[in-house]
């Protein structure tokens, strides 16, 4: 039962353009959502998060949007840079303890 | 301040053997979570330790067990290894149970 889904395994974007990574979830109990970035041979690195009481959170070039009615969130990267090329994981958890559920990841390639 | 470190980085074991993976949490962190990441999948939550006690467990059999020590470092033990246990094992530490986790680089386990 995949509670967090990333339906696009890969995405290619030109440098300077916008990258949009999408994520859907099925568990309505999730109240906190996170995005992680992972380079090869490294562990995932926390990027940005959003609480379920918000619909948008922005941090520099990264913005996460949450649509609770659609159980959908997205990560926007503007402008995209070659160093952003990595695998991006969407993750979620509900309160109580941090049993984070991850999606399968989207590999982003930013082309110079 | 050192980050999360895991040892060893790579390991090859034979089916039926036992393995112990180690994790040193980041300074000031009292919570450690373990994840299994199979090829092409997102990390799957195994269990979490908070102040030396198990604080939640994912859908893994009892042959996956763990410990957390007074210095908050942790071990993951897997008995009776199976071929499907081949994966990247990630350790993540956090300041508390419900705060963002910082991941180590992982241990790549291959079972032959």
* B91 CA: distance to closest CA in chain A (Å): 9
Question: How many other C-beta atoms lie within 10 A of the C-beta of residue B63?
Answer: 13
Residue A37: exposure state from Cβ atoms within 10 A (0-12, 13-18, ≥19):
buried
- Tell me the per-residue pLDDT of B10-48, one tens digit each, with 9 for 90 and over: 999 999 999 999 999 998 899 999 999 999 899 999 999
Contact assessment for residue B25 and residue B92, using Cβ atoms and an 8 Å cutoff: no
Contact partners, residue B50, CB within 8 Å, separation at least 6 = A97, B30, B31, B68, B96, B97
Given B4, B44, B94, which is nearest A98 (Cβ)? B94
Average pLDDT, chain A: 93
For residue A96, pLDDT beyond 70: no
For residue A23, pLDDT beyond 80: yes
The answer to whether B99 contacts A98, with C-beta atoms less than 8 Å apart, is yes
What's the confidence (pLDDT) of residue B40? 87
What's the confidence (pLDDT) of residue B1? 52
In B, which residues are within 8 Å of A98 by CB distance? Answer: 31, 33, 48, 56, 94, 97-99, 101
How far is it, in rounded angstroms, from Cα A29 to Cα B5? 32
């Amino acid at each position: 039962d995949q509670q967090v889904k990333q339906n696009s395994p890969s995405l290619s974007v030109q440098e300077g353009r916008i990258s949009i990574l999408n994520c859907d979830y099925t568990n309505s109990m999730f109240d906190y959502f996170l995005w992680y970035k992972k380079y090869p041979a490294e562990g995932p690195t926390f990027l940005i998060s959003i609480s379920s009481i918000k619909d948008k959170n922005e941090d520099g070039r990264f913005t996460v949007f949450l649509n609770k009615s659609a159980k959908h969130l997205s990560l926007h990267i503007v402008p995209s840079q070659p160093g952003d090329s990595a695998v991006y994981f969407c993750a979620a958890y509900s309160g109580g303890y941090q049993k984070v559920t991850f999606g399968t990841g989207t590999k982003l390639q930013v082309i110079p | 301040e050192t980050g999360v470190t895991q040892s060893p980085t790579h390991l090859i074991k034979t089916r039926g053997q036992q393995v112990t993976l180690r994790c040193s949490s980041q300074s000031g962190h009292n919570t450690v979570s373990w994840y299994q990441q199979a090829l092409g999948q997102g990390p799957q939550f195994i269990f979490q330790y908070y102040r030396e006690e198990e604080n939640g467990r994912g859908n893994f059999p009892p042959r996956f067990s763990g410990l957390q020590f007074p210095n908050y470092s942790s071990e993951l033990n897997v008995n009776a290894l199976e071929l499907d246990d081949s994966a990247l094992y990630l350790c993540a530490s956090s300041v508390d149970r419900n705060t963002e986790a910082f991941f180590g680089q992982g241990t790549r386990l291959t079972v032959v």
